[in-house]
C-alpha cells in the first residue's frame, strides 16, 4: 500500500478555502476566478479540482460551514435563564461571533444570490433557524411581561439587522473595544424591547 493521504492535502485544502474566503469577500464571488484563487495558494487552476468539484461548491461549503458554526455556538448559550438574560447573552454572542469572522459574514450575506436554488434553500433554512432562536427569546419575554414587543417577527429581523451592521464599521484598531461595542448595542436593544 502507498500512503493513505497525500502529503499536502491536509494543508492545501484549508489554504484554498482561506484564499477563496478572502478573495470572495473582497471582490465578490462572480468577480473572482479559479485562476486567482489557485495563484494565491501557489497552484495551477486545475489542482483546485482535487479539493472541490466546482466553484459553486467552494462557495457553498464556506457558507454552510459558517452557518453550522453559528448555530453550533448558539446552542451553547444558556437557555433557561430569564428572557432578559437570554437576550443579553444573544446580543453579546452575535456581536462577538460576527466580529471574529467579518469576511465570512460578508460572504454569507452578499453571495446568497450566487448560490444554486438547492444550496440557497439550505442556507436560508439555517438562517431561519437562527432567527427563530431570537424570536423565541422575544416571545418568551412578551409572555412573561418583561418585554413590550408588538411584533416579534419584525423585532427579530430589526435586532439582527442592527447587530450585524456592526461588521460594516468596526475596526480592531478603532475607537471602541469589542466589550464597549457590546455594551452600547445591548443598551439600545434592551431599551428597544423594554416594557
Partner DNA sequence: TCAATATCTGAACAGACGTTCAGATCAACC
Partner DNA sequence: GGTTGATCTGAACGTCTGTTCAGATATTGA
The answer to whether 87 touches 141, Cβ cutoff 8 Å, is yes
Least distance (Å) between residue 142 CB and DNA: 47
Least distance (Å) between residue 63 CB and DNA: 16
Cell 433554512: give the residue.
125
> Is residue 84 a contact point for a copy of itself (CB under 8 A)?
no
d(Cα 70, Cα 60) in Å, to the nearest integer? 15
Query: Closer CB to DNA, residue 27 or residue 128?
Result: 27
CA 37 to chain centre: 22
d(Cα 90, Cα 78) in Å, to the nearest integer? 10
Least distance (Å) between residue 125 CB and DNA: 24
Binding residue for a copy of itself, selected from 110, 129, 144, 177, defined by CB under 8 A: 110
d(Cα 98, Cα 95) in Å, to the nearest integer? 5
- Positive or negative: CA dihedral 166, 172, 176, 179: positive
Least distance (Å) between residue 12 CB and DNA: 4
Cell 431599551: give the residue.
191
Least distance (Å) between residue 34 CB and DNA: 4
Query: Closer CB to a copy of itself, residue 47 or residue 176?
Result: 176
Using the contact rule CB under 8 A, the part of the chain among 9-17, 42-50, 94-102, 184-192 near a copy of itself is 184-192
Query: Closer CB to DNA, residue 2 or residue 161?
Result: 2
The answer to whether 97 touches 68, Cβ cutoff 8 Å, is no
- Which alpha helices (DSSP H) does the chain contain, by range? 9-27, 34-41, 55-74, 83-100, 102-110, 117-143, 152-164, 166-169, 178-193
Chain residues binding DNA by CB under 7 A are: 1-10, 12, 32-36, 38, 42-47, 49-50, 53-56
* Residues facing residue 194 across a β-bridge: 147
> Is residue 193 a contact point for a copy of itself (CB under 8 A)?
yes
* Contacting positions for a copy of itself (CB under 8 A): 26-28, 30-31, 110, 113-114, 150-151, 154-155, 157-162, 164-166, 168-169, 176, 181, 184-185, 187-189, 191-194
Amino acid at each position: 500500500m502507498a500512503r493513505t493521504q497525500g502529503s499536502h492535502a491536509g494543508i492545501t485544502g484549508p489554504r484554498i478555502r482561506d484564499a477563496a474566503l478572502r478573495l470572495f469577500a473582497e471582490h465578490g464571488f462572480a468577480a473572482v476566478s479559479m485562476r486567482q484563487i489557485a495563484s494565491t495558494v501557489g497552484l495551477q487552476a486545475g489542482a483546485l479540482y482535487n479539493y472541490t468539484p466546482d466553484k459553486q461548491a467552494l462557495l457553498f461549503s464556506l457558507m454552510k460551514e459558517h452557518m453550522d458554526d453559528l448555530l453550533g455556538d448558539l446552542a451553547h448559550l444558556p437557555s433557561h435563564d430569564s428572557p432578559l438574560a437570554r437576550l443579553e447573552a444573544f446580543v453579546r454572542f452575535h456581536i462577538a461571533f460576527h466580529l471574529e469572522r467579518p469576511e465570512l459574514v460578508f460572504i454569507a450575506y452578499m453571495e446568497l444570490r450566487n448560490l444554486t436554488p438547492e444550496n440557497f434553500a439550505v442556507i436560508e433554512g439555517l438562517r431561519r433557524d437562527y432567527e427563530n432562536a431570537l424570536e423565541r427569546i422575544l416571545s418568551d419575554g412578551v409572555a412573561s411581561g418583561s418585554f413590550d414587543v408588538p411584533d416579534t417577527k419584525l423585532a427579530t429581523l430589526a435586532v439582527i439587522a442592527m447587530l450585524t451592521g456592526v461588521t460594516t464599521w468596526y475596526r480592531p484598531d478603532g475607537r471602541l473595544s469589542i466589550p464597549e461595542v457590546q455594551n452600547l448595542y445591548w443598551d439600545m436593544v434592551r431599551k428597544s424591547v423594554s416594557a
